[in-house]
């Protein structure tokens, strides 16, 4: 008989993972959403008021998606703030290049 937790299954010296254990990925994703929110909120000086309003509405939509995926797809939640950052960056750069937002 093997020593350790679980009768030799898994790593020795570690208890087996519980089937109902919470995944850490939704928490990582929501922390990313909080970080991305500050970037969205701080984009005000380089965007017009209507652009800022649309960006914050898009961030709110992303927050709803992340909350919906919390239990359904917990490993997908960290990708939501990544998408949010890419959209913010592309929008601000395009706005500055094509629409003169930074002038």
Q: What is the 3-state composition of the chain as percent helix, strand, coil, each rounded to the nearest 5?
A: 65, 0, 35
Q: Is 76 helix (H, G, I), strand (E, B) or coil?
A: coil
User: For the segment 40-96, what is each residue's pLDDT rounded down to a tens digit?
Assistant: 999 999 999 999 999 999 999 999 999 999 999 999 999 999 999 999 999 999 999
Considering the domain boundaries, does residue 17 fall inside one? Answer: no
Instruction: Give the range of the structural domain holding residue 86, as residue numbers without chain letter.
Output: 27-98
d(C-alpha 70, C-alpha 43), whole Å: 27
Considering the domain boundaries, does residue 64 fall inside one? Answer: yes
Total number of domains constituting the chain: 1
Q: What is the DSSP letter of 46?
A: G
User: For the segment 14-43, what is each residue's pLDDT rounded down to a tens digit?
Assistant: 667 676 678 899 999 999 999 999 999 999
Considering the domain boundaries, does residue 63 fall inside one? Answer: yes
Considering the domain boundaries, does residue 34 fall inside one? Answer: yes
Considering the domain boundaries, does residue 45 fall inside one? Answer: yes
Q: Is 9 helix (H, G, I), strand (E, B) or coil?
A: coil
Per-residue pLDDT, 9: 58
Considering the domain boundaries, does residue 20 fall inside one? Answer: no
Question: Which residue's entry shows tokens 């208890």?
Answer: 15
Q: Is the pTM of this model over 0.85?
A: no
């Amino acid at each position: 008989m093997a020593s350790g937790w679980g009768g030799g299954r898994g790593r020795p010296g570690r208890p087996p993972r519980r089937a109902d254990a919470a995944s850490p990925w939704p928490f990582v994703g929501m922390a990313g959403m909080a970080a991305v929110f500050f970037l969205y909120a701080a984009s005000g000086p380089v965007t017009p008021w209507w652009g800022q309003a649309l960006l914050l509405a898009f961030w709110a939509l992303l927050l709803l998606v992340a909350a919906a995926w919390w239990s359904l797809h917990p490993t997908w939640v960290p990708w939501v703030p990544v998408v949010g950052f890419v959209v913010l960056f592309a929008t601000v750069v395009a706005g500055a290049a094509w629409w003169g937002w930074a002038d």
